[in-house]
């Protein structure tokens, strides 16, 4: 089967191409690729600050969410006494991969069911702990952190420990109980909120992300940003995407509606799927995972398999999602 015939549902990418205004901005900026971009993407930082209605000294821009995670871990690794970080598990694969590459110790706290066990994570904080990653909605399970649970967690964690609330999927959430990072920032100087243009705005190929926080930690992140990090095409696309928020908001609502349709259909087929607030669904198939992923591949659907645990499937157009449901309804992967 050729690559063109495959439905790509393995990387949590947007199924939509950029809106026309964003494409126009990319084309216009592309005419200047012979020139270096701004040393620091100030214009983009200002646009993000205006979008969130915060001062620009509360915004740090980076090369996607992963780039900012690397910058944060660089800060953890500095100094004579190297610190450690905590993360839930299973969660975003990039946390341990990037930490390992930077020789930063990372301890994993098991999920409770499909959600963060914030009580256990608070208890796991020790003197060496410098940073805690929280992913909400969690990748790959899709389960968000509730606002009341986040509020309690922040009161239990010492202020010397930075809490990174990774919200790259937050814009797909429709549950009003889902934690809201930007709204939580006041009163919590150790909280950093991570967002990205890759998912909510479909600019994964341009690698633009940002962090929101108090001036001190944001200045530290800016201090370890490589010069000329964000190309002008990426900056122009991100600024245009913010200006096109109504169109992107409609797209995200469509993805959320399709996500909920798929979740209901999977449950009706006998697969216990947790309620996702991201742009993907999680099928906790255990030892059936490899077989399910292979069956999807045979029908032209690429999914992200976690051997022995489950399958994460990005919500795509209906025809892509219907392939997933066809495999699920076969009954072969429902535990009797």
Can you give the three-state secondary structure of 261-300, one letter per residue?
HHHHHHHHCCCCCCCCCCCEEEECCHHHHHHHHHHHHHCC
Query: Above 80 in pLDDT, residue 2?
Result: no
Query: Above 60 in pLDDT, residue 336?
Result: no
- pLDDT per residue as tens digits for the range 179-200: 999 999 999 999 999 999 999 9
- pLDDT per residue as tens digits for the range 230-279: 999 999 999 999 999 999 999 999 999 999 999 999 999 999 999 999 99
- pLDDT per residue as tens digits for the range 276-308: 999 999 999 999 999 999 999 999 999 999 999
pTM equals 0.95
Q: How confident is the model at residue 40 (pLDDT cuts 50, 70, 90)?
A: very high
Q: CB–CB of 190/163 below 8 Å?
A: yes
Return the DSSP state at 57.
Answer: G
């Amino acid at each position: 089967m050729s690559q063109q015939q495959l439905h790509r549902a393995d990387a949590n990418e947007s199924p939509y191409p950029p809106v026309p205004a964003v494409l126009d901005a990319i084309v216009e900026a592309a005419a200047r690729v012979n020139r270096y971009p701004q040393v620091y993407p100030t214009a983009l930082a200002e646009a993000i600050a205006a979008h969130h209605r915060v001062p620009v000294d509360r915004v740090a821009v980076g090369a996607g969410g992963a780039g900012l995670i690397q910058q944060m871990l660089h800060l953890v690794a500095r100094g004579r006494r190297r610190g450690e970080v905590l993360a839930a598990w299973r969660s975003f694969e990039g946390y341990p991969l990037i930490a390992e590459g930077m020789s930063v110790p990372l301890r994993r706290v098991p999920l409770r069911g499909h959600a963060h066990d914030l009580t256990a994570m608070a208890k796991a904080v020790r003197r060496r702990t410098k940073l805690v990653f929280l992913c909400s909605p969690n990748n790959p399970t899709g389960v968000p952190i509730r606002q009341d649970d986040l509020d309690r967690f922040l009161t239990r964690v010492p202020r010397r420990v930075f809490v990174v609330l990774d919200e790259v999927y937050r814009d797909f959430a429709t549950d009003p109980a889902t934690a809201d990072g930007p709204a939580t920032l006041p009163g919590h100087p150790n909280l950093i909120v991570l967002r990205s243009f890759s998912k909510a705005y479909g600019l994964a190929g341009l690698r633009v992300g940002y962090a929101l926080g108090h001036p001190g930690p944001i200045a530290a992140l800016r201090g370890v940003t490589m010069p000329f990090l964000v190309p002008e095409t990426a900056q122009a696309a991100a600024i245009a995407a913010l200006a096109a928020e109504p169109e992107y908001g409609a797209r995200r609502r469509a993805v959320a509606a399709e996500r909920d349709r798929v979740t209901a259909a999977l449950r009706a087929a006998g697969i216990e799927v947790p309620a996702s607030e991201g742009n993907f669904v999680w099928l906790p198939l255990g030892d059936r995972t490899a077989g399910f992923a292979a069956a999807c591949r045979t029908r032209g659907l690429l999914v992200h398999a976690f051997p022995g645990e489950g399958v994460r499937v990005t919500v795509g157009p209906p025809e892509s999602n219907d392939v997933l449901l066809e495999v699920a309804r076969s009954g072969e992967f429902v535990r009797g």
